[in-house]
């Protein structure tokens, strides 16, 4: 399995599922490989290097739209039912709304999912023709935040809301005081986020194996939602060098934001709304100018999901309850 990034808090359910034997119960042994972005995980799965990926659902749509046939990847469990993408700007700076990005310089990691979806964000905001400078950087997010806030290298940074907030904590920055987030979910609410994906060939030839995988991950999600600190313990055992406080904040923020869209109460975590997925496909195809429109069935399969009664339906809590 290729992960979305280096070992971090919002992967806790995978490590909990592994440690508690949920994969073993399903007849599985999982080898985890750290990734570099949620977007990059998708083509690495489709290229045949992995059986499973934790990647960006919108990148899968884009990959399918740019291909002549469905890629060898399909989502089977959508963890993020709310869009995590943002452009974080200095709270004390002049950028207060998307229209203020005109003429600004923005920083991003190469192939960052928020950067890839900037055309959709800009289209919705009516700024697609505005000049915006984008500089790619491989610096770690804590350093990028310092260069934005202290050295004025950039006017904003692309990323995930809780990834950048956690990076600010690692950098000794109070994210609530220092950052303002222009969140994509307010302008393009149909976009989903991270999802568990498998090889299409695996789904077709070994459906019982994929069903066991999905059920094991869902058990991990339930456990982490019930005991966030046990989840962070599992993450820390994978990488003892992590900043525990930052990763706990990142995990709590992910449960409270990216995984707490109101549709979760109706559909449960893991599932998606078919009409919303269709609108997401239309948005991405139009913004990127693709000639091919992939079918929703190429992107997501719900037949591996546990029943609704076995999946979490509400993860949001009030501040401080995590």
pLDDT category at 297 given cuts 50, 70, 90 is: very high
Residues 78 and 89 in one domain: no
Q: Report the share of the chain in percent with pLDDT over 70.
A: 98
Query: Residues 147-183, buried b or exposed e (16+ Cβ, 10 A)?
Result: bbbeeebbbbbbbbbbbbbbbbbbbebebeebbbbbb
105-108 and 85-90 strand pairing: unpaired
Residue 183 sits in the same domain as residue 140 = yes
Q: With cut-offs at 50, 70 and 90, classify the pLDDT of residue 316.
A: low
Phi-psi region of 27 (alpha: psi -120 to 50; beta: other; left: phi over 0): left
176-186 residue pLDDT tens: 999 999 999 99
- Judgement on whether residues 231 and 278 belong to the same structural domain of the protein: yes
300 and 205 part of one domain: yes
Taking the complete model, does pTM exceed 0.85, yes or no?
Answer: yes
Residue 174 located in a structural domain: yes
87 has pLDDT over 70: yes
d(CA 270, CA 80): 8
Q: What is the CA radius of gyration of the chain?
A: 19
Q: What is the pLDDT confidence band of residue 315, given thresholds at 50, 70 and 90?
A: confident
> Are 197 and 304 spatial neighbours (Cβ–Cβ below 8 Å)?
no
In a domain? residue 321: no
What is the domain extent for residue 164? 85-187
The predicted structure's pLDDT at residue 314? 78
Please compute the mean of the pLDDT values over residues 238-256 and round it to a whole number.
Answer: 94
Last residue of one domain, picked from the residues 167, 187, 207: 187
Rounded CA-CA distance 127/117 in Å is: 14
Q: Same domain, yes or no, for 219 and 252?
A: yes
Instruction: Among 187, 217, 251, give the residue marking a domain's end.
Output: 187
Residue 145, domain member (yes or no): yes
Mean of per-residue pLDDT scores for the chain: 94
Check residue 206 and give its pLDDT.
97
Tell which wins on pLDDT, 315 or 176.
176
Asked if pLDDT for residue 319 goes beyond 80, the answer is no
Q: Which residues pair with 135 in a beta bridge?
A: 107
Counting the structural domains of the chain, the total is 2
Q: CATH number of the domain at 59, please.
A: 3.40.190.10
């Amino acid at each position: 399995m290729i992960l979305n990034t280096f070992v971090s808090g919002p992967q806790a359910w995978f490590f909990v599922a592994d440690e508690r034997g949920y994969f073993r119960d399903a007849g599985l042994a999982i080898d985890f490989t750290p990734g570099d972005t949620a977007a990059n995980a998708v083509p690495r799965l489709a290229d045949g290097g992995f059986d499973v990926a934790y990647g960006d659902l919108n990148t899968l749509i884009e990959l399918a739209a740019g291909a002549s046939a469905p890629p060898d990847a399909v989502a089977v469990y959508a963890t993020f039912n709310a869009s995590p993408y943002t452009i974080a700007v200095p709270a004390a700076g002049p950028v207060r709304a998307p229209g203020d990005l005109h003429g600004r310089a923005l920083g991003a990691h190469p192939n960052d999912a928020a950067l890839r979806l900037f055309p959709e964000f800009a289209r919705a905001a009516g700024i697609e023709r505005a000049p915006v400078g984008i500089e790619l950087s491989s610096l770690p997010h804590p350093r990028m935040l310092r260069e934005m806030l202290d050295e004025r290298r950039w006017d904003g940074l692309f990323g995930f809301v809780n990834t950048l907030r956690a990076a600010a904590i690692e950098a000794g920055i109070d994210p609530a005081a220092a950052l303002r987030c222009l969140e994509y979910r307010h302008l393009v609410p149909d976009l989903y986020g991270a999802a568990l994906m498998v090889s299409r060939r695996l789904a077709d030839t070994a459906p019982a194996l994929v069903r066991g995988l999905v059920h094991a991950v869902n058990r991990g999600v339930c456990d982490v939602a019930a005991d966030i600190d046990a989840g962070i313990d599992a993450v820390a055992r994978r990488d003892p060098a992590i900043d525990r406080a930052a990763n706990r904040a990142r995990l709590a923020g992910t449960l409270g934001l990216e995984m707490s869209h109101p549709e979760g109460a109706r559909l449960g975590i893991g599932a998606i709304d078919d009409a919303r997925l269709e609108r997401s496909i239309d948005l991405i195809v139009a913004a990127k100018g693709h000639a091919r429109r992939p079918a929703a069935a190429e992107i997501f399969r719900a037949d591996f999901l546990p029943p609704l009664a076995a999946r979490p339906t509400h993860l949001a809590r009030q501040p401080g309850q995590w």
